[in-house]
Amino acid sequence: MIGKIALVLLFILLVWGNLVAGLKAGLACPDWPLCHGQLLPPLRWDIYVEFIHRLIGGITSLFIIILSFQRFRSYIGSAKVVPILVVVLLLIQIVLGGIVVLMELPVDLTTYHFANAIVIFALVVYMVFFDGDQKKPLFSISGYKGIFFFLSLLIFIQAVLGAYVRHSSSGLACPDFPTCLGYWIPPQISGIVLNHFAHRGLAYIVTIVVAVLLIASYSSSALKNYRQKLLILIGLIILQVLLGVAVVLTRLNFAVTALHLFIALLIFTTALYAWFQGMRENSV
């Protein structure tokens, strides 16, 4: 139960953080750890958008620490590294959050802050999936498990690239769809155009990989066990592509971009679960 609560809270925290960015409220609390020098800041909508984000972060951190302690006690051998790593990354994340605010949201550091959060998210998903009853080492990328590991890695890179596109103001560098500046391949791919175009290109690659795996699952007995998750993945990816188009056409509407991240997290979680499913089959 603690694990599921921690995961739901982390989902909410990440999506809320996206809303903070979309509403330009990231510096509404310009100091840290206080907000305008107070525990309870002045009553203003943008201040409380950021302040609530901090509150959710504090509550989520508490549940993640409790979950990590439980898993450290139940895991055996090298698996104990996972909860230790989660706590270390969580401490780094908290410090980074303060630095990002005090340095007024630098692009590279803000992107790294998001990437670190996604790594924590993946490890929390791991701790929710594996409760410590498994008898074998809980890490493997051999066989089809490896395919889903690399798919998860690809989705992770895509998510981080999306964050970079957002924070580097590249979201409207290609203001049209499916073309970019009226071209299928822009004649000058550099700067913010390169950022945006790379994000689109990687999205197409992820879509093709999942589609190929789904088709292969109808002829491969080994992939057949993953078909349900592949069907979920392809459905979520189609929805995500449509949302990506909506993000551009609505000119980065904050609600649409938040939903775009929400679906991205569902895609990432599904890919991780497919990978973990294969590991679990070899751990009992």
| Same-domain status, 105 and 6 | yes
Give the C-alpha separation, 63 to 69, whole Å.
Answer: 10
Supply the mean pLDDT for the chain.
Answer: 89
Helices of type H across the chain: 2-22, 45-74, 81-102, 107-129, 143-167, 191-216, 221-224, 227-249, 254-281
| Same-domain status, 213 and 268 | yes
| Same-domain status, 55 and 95 | yes
Element (H, E) at 116: helix 107-129
Place of tokens 């270390």: 88
Q: Would you say residue 192 has pLDDT above 90?
A: yes
For residue 104, which phi and psi values (nearest 5 degrees)? 60, 50
Query: In angstroms, what CA-CA distances link 272 with 43, 103, 251?
Result: 41, 34, 31
Q: What is the pLDDT of residue 207?
A: 95
Q: What is the pLDDT of residue 137?
A: 45
pLDDT band at 106 (very low <50, low <70, confident <90, very high): confident
| Same-domain status, 189 and 117 | no
Whether the CB-CB separation of 210 and 233 falls below 8 Å is answered with yes
Between 38 and 15, the more confident residue is 15
pTM to 2 decimals? 0.92
pLDDT band at 140 (very low <50, low <70, confident <90, very high): low
Length of the chain: 284
Tell me the per-residue pLDDT of 38-89, one tens digit each, with 9 for 90 and over: 888 888 888 889 999 999 999 999 999 999 999 998 888 888 899 999 999 9
Cis amide linkage into residue 106, ω under 30° from 0: no
| Same-domain status, 203 and 257 | yes
**Domain, as residue range, for 202:** 140-284
Residue 183, strand partner residues: 180
DSSP annotation of 215 reads H
Whether the CB-CB separation of 164 and 122 falls below 8 Å is answered with no
Residue 28 structure tokens: 């509404």
Domain boundary among 90, 118, 135: 135
| Same-domain status, 152 and 48 | no
Neighbours of 52 (CB within 10 A): 14
Residue 207 structure tokens: 């879509």
CB burial string 73-105: b at 16+ within 10 A, e below: ebbeeebeebbeebbebbeebeebbeebbeeee
Q: Which of 4-13, 37-46, 96-105, 220-229 has the highest mean pLDDT?
A: 4-13
Q: What is the pLDDT of residue 119?
A: 96
How many domains would you assign to the chain? 2
| Same-domain status, 219 and 160 | yes
| Same-domain status, 91 and 224 | no
| Same-domain status, 281 and 145 | yes
Place of tokens 């989902």: 11
| Same-domain status, 50 and 168 | no
Residue 20 structure tokens: 């903070």
The three-state secondary structure class of 183 is strand
Angle at 172 between CA 162 and CA 101, to 5 degrees: 55
For residue 205, which phi and psi values (nearest 5 degrees)? -65, -45
| Residue closest to 160 by CA, chosen among 126, 209, 121, 112 | 112
The three-state secondary structure class of 142 is coil
| Same-domain status, 23 and 104 | yes
